[in-house]
Structure 1
């Protein structure tokens, strides 16, 4: 407490005493105990009031000891051998026991990781992928602003995510890797990557690109072999040396039959090769007996045309050709979907062919469109004219029922430009997107469908859709959502089927079991998404003839079946809506691929660079004592004593106010009781 405050308190006591003496004893002839009690109560009241005004305070210091966080981060992936597993468990137990003597210096915390970071010391070594950089980034967020050290138990082989060596330069605390696995380098030939399309067309040849690498010092030779459904279809002699240690093999394989084809690429191992798991890779593709031919017809050159072509052809089942409206109509006989980009009077022959063939079309309106011609040449919809060029923003129609558009968001997308007015569908139609003009939601479609008999049409009121594809990439670093949305629209237009209330979304090929998920959307008879449906899926293995039935669980706007527990193989499935009497069937394949088995040695060199980048040091399991000593003697990890200074009132004002009120009340009562004024 400050001297000034003490002087104020003394002054308050003197003032209170002087006032009491003046009031009770100056020129007052009354004496006795009653006078003393009353003067004391008056002193308490006055002194307490003055203390409230002064409000004396004092400083209180609180001291705490902050320990260093010691994080034991363990690789829980399946790349660990049985010897590694036992060694890790033993080393962890040994390290914990040795660090018990330093319990006053460290808070010991246990984490494990595979694809994700987990706060647990229970180890199963079953994770199918390793993401070291993501685990380190997670610890960075958890322990930001604290004194932390990480002991990383791993073989250094990462199968997913950012390269942890470069991420380590952004790490905020030191990392001490403990190298697991075999550090000996063996001669090794491996298939590092295979590039192939997911789809091929019957009687066509599909490309196959194989990347092969060699790790060794001697000159060796081997033979690349490609099998399709266990039948040898291609082979090539390959040679390597310590200088020429990589090779890329390109070939063309003919798709002779329809269906899912299992492709096996093999490079026979060297005589003394230890790891043979990376000498073989499996993949699959689906051979289709037909493809969708899409024609884009336009008289203008516009970025929209390139964006449409790339988005539609992102699915290998579709081929896009670009024509002018005056092209020979015989070239358009095999077209499945016509995309009419900003049509004018020169499209007269094209429209007549569409009507004659009862073909499906997608019309895009813009500033170059002849709207009067559009209204005159067809009877599916009318476009109001006489509007100025304006910007049209998109707003999704949640009630759209033709196909699932729930995963495509137009939030923040740039506007389209058009001078067309509202589109009035004359037959059956349903808008996918509605227009928003100057922040106001308009009851008019921006993208809508129109049906007549077996033909289907779509109308987009506005140009510059290429900006949507760019915005999708800017948001997600991929064109996937935009391309999938346009792909679903193309699929809808390329078929003459009616409304489908039950739609499945799945892949014909899954690289491994963890990716195996099937999605479904179901609409009631009013074509409103039914969130109370009961959907079951029955999956049957083609190899074992065993089956399993599981329910599809409701997610955010769709149903999903997680089949990640299925082993690799070929499967048929049937999904059934219990009360709706609707079912859909299909087939898929799960490939037997384990990225964790592609490495034969630990990557201690990269772990050493990670340690240096973060200010740590590399250790081997036999040097745990050195690690413990380094942690205990490093001055960076000495516990820090921190003080917290709190300024608090000397007397609680509520307590003091109670004393003042009690003293005044008691004085008043005594005076009245004794007949004093």
Structure 2
């Protein structure tokens, strides 16, 4: 078929004019024999040039027959090695025999292996059955990529144990080409027992009884009594016998324990191994729990009773976990005797208006001993200024906090405006401190007191005078000792002036938060996170659980879990708060082997804070060994929806007759554009050259 560009009227006018001029120019030469050929050549060249102006295109329809390729996919996962029928060697030799029959029928094939990833296969006999997981999604993505290519169909050898990637229900199964599946293995699962998970709170208080809910899974044809044991370290602390029914059943066992030690403790759960069990690595698991103290001892030394004293005692007495020893200095020394103070261990020591002038000399000599007591007992330390507190009396103890007395900017005792700083919000980010974030909070002025220099401490509150900021409340940490210094002598006035206002509990909340921080009642942390097991296999589900240590902690609604391997970030997972259990939870898959570290970030006031860190181990995947049987149901669905056939391994050769060489005829149009054809240009050039030669011979040039 020839197609031409439709010219406009100007073209036809020029064409008609050119033809008339051509005829009139050569009409008188037609009678001469030598000129007829010259006129013919010139006319032909002119016609070709005019034809090119019409941009002619010639479309030629053609047909071509192409051979189609069958794609063969071979499951190389670890589970294929553990079947008795076929054995691993029989599996590979059976596939080789199957492929040889197809080659004899001149079937064109592309052979691939799949497991955790897809690879091309050179020699089937060299194929290693060692992939840690089965991802059938790789197979379907490969077929989708090649749908427009020469594919006759596909044959898949697999046991259908899909433990990574997409499930078959998510595949786009259409009868574009047949997918035949050969199911490998026994339909009865091989025997396996596993400690599936251990449900326990991530943090508890010493003396509380806690339940460890253990989930035991059993596969295969099992009907036995097994022993489930619980160890604390190497000590057996519990044992229970249960009946397991197998066939994918799950049984729960509950142990109740009462932790007696403070800090991180671990419990190990084990189930007895069965005679024919092929994977015993999942028969034990360890869970770690953080144990907090149930009682905290506080010593308060009052150099001279003042209005702050009763308020502090009241705040401490409200918390049942606090035990207070109060030493008051009088004419005859401390009451009760200060000797018991030096003998006991305290989590917090408070200097209330102490030392004073009357005992200044003695306590200067005690400075070195007191410092050793703080360090050895890892006690928190607080100095609260009072009316009798003088720079000279407390300077040596401020030095323990790396604070130095400086020349005052404010006149001592003047009522001065003050406010919380951003460092308060940063240090106690999740402690229910909404009042500290209010810009228009109405805080009564406080009397200025002793002024100190600061270096690396947190300035939690400060006086504001004409743009000059002077520290009021300072906190810091030195060699694991946490400390706080309150410089105003009339702290009590804040308590009374706020009564009846919206901030009536402000001072109490402040000290409750600071007491908890000083004594590390959360074990150095405000949140504890842990995984439901200590080790996983690649492809296994992981549950990360977190819990705040203090009841005042703000409940947040969103966060993320950053996962790292060898210092490199490998993934980010969402974190959510479970309103029912009052715990933070994140679920994700163990995708990479090795030690995986994680950090937990949570958001507050458009700021991001890291509130938890930890790690867990992921072993080279043995998850294949948890389900060693032919899962034929999804495989039959796949073959049925794609107009393919499903065969068990022993009937595999019956598929050979269904796999034949296929060709596909494709029609296509070959287009020739004349003005792009070099032979047209050559023809015009030959015509013009021939005409020029003839003209010379007849003497026209």
TM-score of the superposed pair, with normalisation by structure 1: 0.51
Distance 2:538 2:568 in 1: 21
Query: Partner residue of 1:373?
Result: 441
Is residue 2:84 matched to residue 1:84?
no
Distance 1:287 1:260 in 2: 5
Query: Partner residue of 1:603?
Result: 631
Shift in alpha-carbon separation, 1:221–1:623, aligned structure 2, 3 A? same
Alignment of 1:441-480 (within 5 A): 454=476
Is residue 2:652 matched to residue 1:648?
no
What does the per-residue CA deviation read over 1:297-338, in whole Å, with 9 as the maximum and x for residues that have no partner?
A: xxxxxxxxxxxxxxxxxxxxxxxxxxxxxx9995599999xx
Q: Number of matched residues?
A: 447
Which of 176, 180, 196 pairs up with 2:184? 180
Contact 1:17/1:43, CA 8 A, preserved across alignment: no
Please state how far the C-alpha of 1:50 moved relative to its aligned partner.
3.1
Is residue 2:263 matched to residue 1:261?
no
Distance 1:50 1:159 in 2: 71
Query: Partner residue of 1:46?
Result: 46
Alignment of 1:382-461 (within 5 A): 454=476
Structure 2: which 5+ runs fail to align? 6-14, 294-314, 323-346, 349-417, 447-466, 483-512, 521-528, 541-564, 573-590, 597-612
Is residue 2:120 matched to residue 1:95?
no
Please state how far the C-alpha of 1:289 moved relative to its aligned partner.
5.1
Please state how far the C-alpha of 1:644 moved relative to its aligned partner.
0.5
What does the per-residue CA deviation read over 1:465-524, in whole Å, with 9 as the maximum and x for residues that have no partner?
A: xxxxxxxxxxxxxxxxxxxxxxxxx9xx98999xxxxxxx99994424899xxxxxxxxx
Distance 2:645 2:279 in 1: 32
Shift in alpha-carbon separation, 1:618–1:234, aligned structure 2, 3 A? farther
What does the per-residue CA deviation read over 1:152-171, in whole Å, with 9 as the maximum and x for residues that have no partner?
A: 22222233344436747578
Contact 1:16/1:46, CA 8 A, preserved across alignment: no
Contact 1:113/1:131, CA 8 A, preserved across alignment: yes
Contact 1:354/1:360, CA 8 A, preserved across alignment: no
Please state how far the C-alpha of 1:641 moved relative to its aligned partner.
0.8
Distance 1:366 1:18 in 2: 100
Please state how far the C-alpha of 1:629 moved relative to its aligned partner.
0.9
Please state how far the C-alpha of 1:131 moved relative to its aligned partner.
2.5
| Partner SS for 2:647 | coil
Alignment of 1:169-568 (within 5 A): 173-184=177-188, 188=191, 190-191=193-194, 193-196=196-199, 199-200=202-203, 203=206, 207-213=211-217, 220-239=224-243, 246-255=250-259, 258-259=263-264, 261=266, 263-269=268-274, 274-275=276-277, 277=279, 280-288=282-290, 290=292, 330=318, 360-361=428-429, 370-373=438-441, 454=476, 509-512=534-537
Distance 2:37 2:474 in 1: 106
Contact 1:267/1:279, CA 8 A, preserved across alignment: no
Alignment of 1:591-630 (within 5 A): 594-630=622-658
Distance 1:193 1:453 in 2: 45
Contact 1:281/1:593, CA 8 A, preserved across alignment: no
Distance 1:243 1:496 in 2: 52
Query: Partner residue of 1:113?
Result: 114
What does the per-residue CA deviation read over 1:430-459, in whole Å, with 9 as the maximum and x for residues that have no partner?
A: xxxxxxxxxxxxxxxxxxxxx976399xxx
Shift in alpha-carbon separation, 1:565–1:675, aligned structure 2, 3 A? same
| Partner SS for 2:138 | helix
Please state how far the C-alpha of 1:59 moved relative to its aligned partner.
2.7
TM-score of the superposed pair, with normalisation by structure 2: 0.49
**Coordinate RMSD, CA, aligned:** 6.0
Distance 1:557 1:265 in 2: 31
Which of 117, 123, 147 pairs up with 1:144? 147
Contact 2:76/2:114, CA 8 A, preserved across alignment: yes
What does the per-residue CA deviation read over 1:267-287, in whole Å, with 9 as the maximum and x for residues that have no partner?
A: 453xxx633536953333334
Is residue 2:84 matched to residue 1:59?
no
Distance 2:425 2:443 in 1: 20
Please state how far the C-alpha of 1:44 moved relative to its aligned partner.
3.0
Distance 1:117 1:254 in 2: 50
Please state how far the C-alpha of 1:221 moved relative to its aligned partner.
3.3
| Partner SS for 1:144 | coil
Structure 1: which 5+ runs fail to align? 6-12, 292-326, 337-349, 379-424, 428-450, 457-489, 498-504, 516-550, 570-584
Please state how far the C-alpha of 1:246 moved relative to its aligned partner.
4.4
Alignment of 1:147-162 (within 5 A): 147-162=151-166
| Partner SS for 2:670 | strand
Contact 1:168/1:613, CA 8 A, preserved across alignment: no
Shift in alpha-carbon separation, 1:511–1:629, aligned structure 2, 3 A? same
| Partner SS for 1:648 | strand
What does the per-residue CA deviation read over 1:35-70, in whole Å, with 9 as the maximum and x for residues that have no partner?
A: 356424422332222322454443323433344442
| Partner SS for 2:646 | coil
Contact 2:52/2:674, CA 8 A, preserved across alignment: no
Please state how far the C-alpha of 1:266 moved relative to its aligned partner.
0.3
Please state how far the C-alpha of 1:178 moved relative to its aligned partner.
1.9
What does the per-residue CA deviation read over 1:112-148, in whole Å, with 9 as the maximum and x for residues that have no partner?
A: 222333344563222222223x234423432334545
| Partner SS for 2:441 | helix
| Partner SS for 1:511 | strand
Structure 1, 229-238 or 662-671: larger mean CA deviation? 662-671
Shift in alpha-carbon separation, 1:333–1:373, aligned structure 2, 3 A? farther
Distance 1:244 1:506 in 2: 27
Contact 1:511/1:591, CA 8 A, preserved across alignment: yes
Please state how far the C-alpha of 1:98 moved relative to its aligned partner.
1.5
Distance 1:45 1:357 in 2: 92
